[in-house]
Amino acid sequence: MSASPTPTPRLLGVGGYLPSRTLTNPALETMVETSDQWILERTGIATRHIAADDESVATMAVEAGAKAIAASGIDASDIDLVLSATCSMPYAVPGAAATIAHGLGIPAPGACDVNAGCASFTYALAWAADAIKAGSARRVLVTGSEKISPFIDYTDRSVCIIFGDGAGAAVLAADDRGGVGPVVWGSDGEQAAAIQVPAGEQYLRMDGAAVFRWATSQMVDVARRACASANVAIEDLAAFVPHQANLRIVDSLARSLKIPTEKVSRNVVDTGNTSAASVPLALDRLVQEGRTTSGDPMLLMAFGAGLTYAAQVVNCP
Ligand code: UT7
């Protein structure tokens, strides 16, 4: 066998989908002992979206995936790998990826789900890039989709106020221009119980304050290492797209990294925390608002259940 040059991955296009039904803070005031003011001050969230009964992880991913494929200018049939990032499937088997591929008319791609909690999308994006570099795929659809509302106890005010449903998607392809930096990832299994659906139970339980402390103290170094490994100075980033968990976490990380607010994704305000969908939804919002220039470097970063985290610098589509 003769050696051939290593293919380089590039982000070609993104897409997003939010269910039409919304759950506002005043509506939550009628469900649990809370207030619009407390939620805004402690989380920055004003409203979130809730999927309809006939919407699922797969149907929302198909909506977002179709937009990402259209934005990429490729044909669905060109995709040879589909990775579905999610932690809110209502059952263990089967995963959503093959169903998503079928819904998009992608014939017989490799297909599997990736579950690293809210960090699932950034993990899946790294694996998509590695599959392209290794030559085992040429065009990859990565979806981040969550119907997390069935796992939320709407009598638990410490959890129900932050989460929402939605989906985002991205297409990565082998492209001479490259533009996907190395991933920096890791985990802290000692804190596994901080975000969990306890065995035999239906609802997500979270030690929000512990996760908050961990994220604001540990993720700054992760962000710095992701930029350093991509050889991109933090001041040269065109955008910072952190997991939309809580606006106070987003703003604290941006402050520590000295990234000005106008470069920071802050759509948690009207999406809530959509777990694995949050980074691709935020990316899609940046592109839709015309806030990005093709080829500019953005820092993507997510963290969540596990605890897990993953960050990488990716050039704008
Ligand atoms: O996406 C996966 C990763 N997850 C995250 O990143 C979540 C990170 N954590 C958070 O976003 C925040 O911790 C929460 C928004 C979940 C909670 O905010 P907090 O500022 O950390 O509040 P806390 O849990 O420390 O609670 C402070 C007080 C408590 O009252 P006492 O004990 O001081 O009297 C809570 O009972 O606020 C009370 N509280 C509320 N009050 C009104 C908790 N939730 C509410 C509420 N409305 N919804």
Residues present in the chain in total:
317
Angle between helix 278-288 and 57-72 (nearest 10): 40
The residue whose C-alpha atom lies closest to atom 41 belonging to ligand 1 is: 34
C-beta of 157 in contact with ligand 1 (< 6 A): yes
Residue written as token pair 């449903």: 165
Mean pLDDT per block of 10 residues along the chain (317 residues) reads: 81 98 98 98 98 98 98 97 98 97 97 98 98 97 98 97 98 96 98 97 97 97 98 98 98 98 97 98 96 95 98 97
CA of 41 from ligand 1 middle (Å) equals: 11
- Report the pLDDT value the prediction gives residue 4, as an integer from 0 to 100: 72
User: Of the residues 38, 146, 157, 212, which should be mutated to test ligand 1's pocket, given the most ligand atoms within 8 Å of the CB?
Assistant: 212
Asked if 265 and 242 count as a contact pair (C-beta separation under 8 A), the reply is: yes
- Report the pLDDT value the prediction gives residue 1, as an integer from 0 to 100: 61
CA of 281 from ligand 1 middle (Å) equals: 24
Catalytic residues: 118, 243, 273
C-beta of 244 in contact with ligand 1 (< 6 A): no
The residue whose C-alpha atom lies closest to atom 21 belonging to ligand 1 is: 209
Atom of ligand 1 nearest to the CA of 305: 2
Atom of ligand 1 nearest to the CA of 157: 48
User: Of the residues 32, 33, 39, 42, which should be mutated to test ligand 1's pocket, given the most ligand atoms within 8 Å of the CB?
Assistant: 42
Asked if 9 and 174 count as a contact pair (C-beta separation under 8 A), the reply is: yes
- Report the pLDDT value the prediction gives residue 5, as an integer from 0 to 100: 81
CA of 312 from ligand 1 middle (Å) equals: 29
For the four alpha carbons of 268, 269, 274 and 277, in that order, the dihedral sign comes to negative
* Chain segment 60-108, per-residue pLDDT in tens: 999 999 999 999 999 999 999 999 999 999 999 999 999 999 999 999 9
C-beta of 158 in contact with ligand 1 (< 6 A): yes
Half-sphere exposure of 73 (CA within 13 A, CB side): 3
C-beta of 245 in contact with ligand 1 (< 6 A): yes
The residue whose C-alpha atom lies closest to atom 9 belonging to ligand 1 is: 208
CA of 298 from ligand 1 middle (Å) equals: 30
- Report the pLDDT value the prediction gives residue 123, as an integer from 0 to 100: 98
Atom of ligand 1 nearest to the CA of 32: 48
- pTM for the whole thing? 0.97
C-beta of 161 in contact with ligand 1 (< 6 A): yes
